[in-house]
Amino acid sequence: MTAVRVPAVSRPAAAMPGQLRAAARLLRLELRRNAMPWMLPLVFALFWFSVYRKAMAMPPLWHPRAASLQIGALLAFASPAAGTAAWMGSREARRRTTDLVAITAWPSWARQLATWAATTCWALAGYLACVAVLYGVTARQAAWGGPLWWPAAVAAASIPAVSAAGFAAGALVPSRFTPPAAAIAAFFVLALSTQPINGSQSYWNISPVVAYPWDIGPDPGVATFYPNLPDLSIAQVMFLAGLTVTVLGAVALSDRRGGSWLRRPAAVITAAGLLAAGTAVALAGTGTLNAHGMIAIPAVHDAASDRPARYTPVCSHTEIPVCLNPAYASYLPAVALALTPVLHEIAGLPGAPVRISQAAAIYQQGPGNSVSISMVGPSISGGRPVYHVLLPDQLGGAALTTSEFIAQVRSDAGPNILANFIALPRSGASQAQQAVLAGLLKAAAVATSAPSARGAPQPVLSPLPAAVQSAAQRFAALPPSARHAWLVRHIAALRAGRITLAQLP
Amino acid sequence: MTLTRLPWLHAASRRAPVAVAAIATCAIGLRLALIGHWDTYGALQLPLVFEAGAAAAITITTASPLGEPERVTGRWLPFLRLATALALTSAAALLLAVAGTGAHLVGGTLEVLRNVTGMTGIGLLCAAAVGGTLAWSGPAAYLVVGAYGQYTQWHGPALTTPWIWPARPPHDVGAAACAALVFSIGIVLTSVLGGRDRVAE
C-alpha cells in the first residue's frame, strides 16, 4: 500500500450573512491575538523622537510639517509593521498548527487575510493617532491654512503595503529570522530608495518617502502662496495600493490548497495590482517641477491648483506697513523688528514704498537634484511703490534662530529697499548716491557684511572710495530729523544723479 | 567529546549556524552595496543597515526552544550563552569589517565594531525583557534612531548625545563607552537569565 499526499482542496461556499458575521468574528479574534499592539509603544516612541520633535521645531506651517510627517512616520512605522506582520504571518508554522488549522472550514488564504488585516488595522490605528496629535497641535499653532491630507494619505497607504510585504515573507518563509529580515529590509528599501532620484522627472519619485522635490528639503515657501499639488501623492497612493494588492494576490496564489476558484481570481488581482503599480511608476516619470516648488504630473493634474491661493495679508503697524502671507503671521514681529530701522529712515519721504509685501518664490529645476529659488517679478512695483521681499525661510537653507533670522532679513532686504528708494542703478551709481546709501545703512545699523540669503541680489556697495566713505559717515552722523529734511528737499535730484559728493551735508 | 558536543548542541538549538549565515549574508550585501555610488546620506546609512541586520540575527539566537528543562540540567548554560553571543558578535564585527576593506566604508572598522557591539547589546537587553524571538525589535528600532541621528548632523539641531552612537565620529570615546556599556549589560543579563521566551514560541 502506498501513501499519497493529496492536499485537500477547499472550495468556497456561497456568501451568507452568517459567514460575514463569522468573518467579522475572525477579524475580532485576530485583533485581540495580535502582536502589533505590543509594538505600538515602541512605534510611538520612535514617532515622538524622529517626527514629532522635528516637526515641532519647524515653523507652524502646514506643508513642511505634513511633508515631515509623511517621511518620518513612514520610516518610524515601516520596520515595526513589516517585522510584526512577518511574525504574524509565520505564526501557524511557528506554533506548529499548520496541519491543525488546515482542516478548518475557512480556507488558509482567508485566515491569512484576516491576520494581515488585523495587523494592518492596529498599525493604521497607531498611525492615525500620531497624525491626530501632530495635526491637532499644528492646527492650534498655524495661523492660516488647513491640514494637508495627501501627504498623510501616502504614509497611510504605505502601512498596508509594508505590512503585506512583511506578512508574505513570514507566510512563505516561516523562520525566526524572517521578521528581523523583513524589518531591516523595509527600512533599507524605503530609506535608500531615494538614492537613484535625479531631478523631478525620475521614476524613483514614486518612493513614498518623497514628499517634495528631492534635495530641496521641507521648504516653508511651498504650498502657501499656491495650493498643495496632490499629483505625486496620487501616483504614490496608486503605486502603494497596487503593490499591496499584488503581494496579497501572490500570497493567495501560493496557497497550495486553493483550487482554480482561488487561483484564477488571485491571478487577476495580482495582475491588476501590478498594472496599477506600473502605471503609477510611469506617471511619476512624467512629473516636472512646477514654478511653485511642487511636482506636477500632467495626467492627474488639476489646472485649478495653479491658481494662487486667496488670502488677506497680515500687516504690521510700522510707519511703512510690512505685510506677510497669513501663514507667516508668526514671523511678522521678527520681520517688522528687522525692517523698522530701515523703514524709519525713509518713511514719509517722496517715493518711499507704501508697503513692504512678502512675495512668492519661483522654483526652477537645475542640473541633477538642484533647484534654484528666486523671487517672482521685480522687487518693486506699482505707481505707489510696493517693495516685495522674500523671507530667508522661503529660500531654503539651514534653520535660523530668531536673532539670525532678524539679521538675515535686515541685511538682505535693507540694502535693497534703500537702493530702490534712491533709485541706485546696478552700475554707474554716482558717488553721492553711494554715500547716501552707505550713510542710511549705517544709520539703520544694517550689517552689509552678512552673507546674503540664496537668491537675494545685493546692491553694489563696496569697495567705496575714501571720500565716499567719509561723506557717508558724515551723513549717518546727522541727527535723524536733519537727514530726513535733507532727503525731502534733495531726493529727486539725488535720484537723477544731479547731486555731487560736495553737496552732501 | 563533550567539550565540543555540548557547545555544538547549544549552538544548533539556538540556530547559531543560520545566524552565522545571516551575518555572512549581511557582509556580502554590504560589500555588494559598497560597489554602487551613494550620496552622503546613503554612504552613512548603508553600513548601519547591515550592522543592524547582523545584530538582529545575533539576538535571535538567544531564543531557546527548550525552556525550563534546559535550565535545570547543568551549570554550563550561562557560559554557553555567553560564548555564543561573544562568538557571533566577534564574527559579525569581523565579517562586516572585512566586507568594507578596500571599499569606501564610512567610519571604517572602528565604527563597525562600535555599532555592531552596541546594537547587539540593545538586542540582548530586549531578549532579556521581551524574549529572543521578538528581540529583533530593539536593533530595528535603534536603526531608525541611529539613521535619524545621522540625519540631524546635516539638518540641525544635531543630536550629539553619545547614546546615539551611530551619529558620533568613530573615535568618539563617549559613544564607544555607551555602546560597550549597553553590550556588557545585555550580555550579562542574557547569559545569566537567558531570553524571556515561552517554550511554545
CA distance linking residue B3 with residue B89, whole number of Å: 21
What are the tens digits of pLDDT across the range A211-225?
888 777 777 788 889
Are A151 and A233 spatial neighbours (Cβ–Cβ below 8 Å)? yes
Alpha helices in A173-230 (DSSP H): 178-191
| Of A371 and B19, the one with more pLDDT | B19
A39 contacts in B (CB within 8 Å)? 137
Give the range among A266-280, B5-19, B66-80, B152-166 with minimum mean pLDDT. Answer: B66-80
Nearest to B148 among A42, A50, A399 (CB): A50
B59 contacts in A (CB within 8 Å)? 180
Are A216 and A66 spatial neighbours (Cβ–Cβ below 8 Å)? no
What are the tens digits of pLDDT across the range A262-317?
788 899 999 999 999 999 999 999 999 999 989 999 999 998 888 999 999 999 99
A50 contacts in B (CB within 8 Å)? 144-145, 148
Q: How many Å from the N-terminal Cα to the C-terminal Cα in chain B?
A: 31
CA of B21: which chain A residue's CA is closest?
A177
CA of B39: which chain A residue's CA is closest?
A195
CA of A39: which chain B residue's CA is closest?
B137
Q: Report percent pLDDT > 70 for chain B.
A: 94
How many Å lie between the alpha carbon of B160 and the closest alpha carbon of chain A? Answer: 14
Local structure of residue A498 (DSSP, 8 states): -
Q: What is the DSSP string of A429-479?
A: --HHHHHHHHHHHHHTT--TTSPPPTT-------SPPHHHHHHHHHHHHS-
β-sheet bridge partners, residue A373: A363
Provide the CB-side half-sphere exposure for A366 (13 A, CA).
11
CA of B22: which chain A residue's CA is closest?
A177
Local structure of residue A317 (DSSP, 8 states): -
Q: What is the DSSP string of A241-307?
A: HHHHHHHHHHHHHT-TTB-HHHHHHHHHHHHHHHHHHHHHHHHHTT-EE-TTSSEE-GGG--GGGGS
Task: Return the pLDDT at A458.
Answer: 54
Nearest to B136 among A76, A83, A398 (CB): A83
How many other β-carbons are positioned within 10 Å of the β-carbon of residue A326?
Answer: 17
Element spanning A356, H or E? strand A355-358
Task: Return the pLDDT at B36.
Answer: 85
β-sheet bridge partners, residue A315: A323
CA distance linking residue B71 with residue A208, whole number of Å: 47
Decide if A191 and B38 are in contact by the 8 Å CB cutoff.
Answer: no
CA distance linking residue A468 with residue A470, whole number of Å: 5
Statement: residue B201 has pLDDT above 80: no
CA distance linking residue A146 with residue A127, whole number of Å: 19
Average pLDDT, chain A: 87
How many Å lie between the alpha carbon of B43 and the closest alpha carbon of chain A? Answer: 10
Which positions ≥6 away from A116 have C-beta within 8 Å? A85, A88, A89, A163, A164, A167, A248
Task: State whether residue A375 is helix, strand or coil.
Answer: strand
Q: CA torsion, points B124, B130, B135, B141, in degrees to nearest 10?
A: -100
Are B124 and B134 spatial neighbours (Cβ–Cβ below 8 Å)? no
User: Which string of b and e fits A224-260 if b means at least 16 CB within 10 Å?
Assistant: bbbbbbbbbbbbbbbbbbbbbbbbbbbbbbbbeebee
A95 contacts in B (CB within 8 Å)? 200-201
Decide if A184 and B49 are in contact by the 8 Å CB cutoff.
Answer: yes
Residue A293's nearest CA partner among A387, A367, A377, A395 is: A395
How many Cβ contacts (< 8 angstroms) between chains A and B?
A: 91
Q: Which residues of A touch B (CB under 8 A)?
A: 35, 39, 42, 45-46, 49-50, 57, 75-76, 79-80, 83, 87, 94-95, 175-177, 179-181, 183-184, 187-188, 191-192, 195, 217, 398-399
Nearest to B144 among A35, A79, A192 (CB): A79
User: Which string of b and e fits A23-56 if b means at least 16 CB within 10 Å?
Assistant: beebbeebbeebbbbebbebbbebbebbbbebbe
B142 contacts in A (CB within 8 Å)? none
Scan for cell 512616520, then name that residue.
Answer: A73
Task: Return the pLDDT at B67.
Answer: 67
Task: Return the pLDDT at A295.
Answer: 92
Q: Report percent pLDDT > 90 for chain B.
A: 62
Q: What is the DSSP string of A159-181?
A: HHHHHHHHHHHHHHS--TTHHHH
Residue A218's nearest CA partner among A405, A393, A95 is: A393
How many Å lie between the alpha carbon of B61 and the closest alpha carbon of chain A? Answer: 9
CA of A86: which chain B residue's CA is closest?
B134
For chain A, residues with pLDDT lower than 50 are 1, 450-456
How many Å lie between the alpha carbon of A361 and the closest alpha carbon of chain B? Answer: 22
Q: How many Å from the N-terminal Cα to the C-terminal Cα in chain A?
A: 121
Task: Return the pLDDT at A92.
Answer: 85
A398 contacts in B (CB within 8 Å)? 155-156
How many Å lie between the alpha carbon of A297 and the closest alpha carbon of chain B? Answer: 26
Q: What is the mean pLDDT of residues B178-191?
A: 96
What are the tens digits of pLDDT across the range B91-117?
999 999 999 988 888 888 999 999 999
B143 contacts in A (CB within 8 Å)? 79, 184, 187
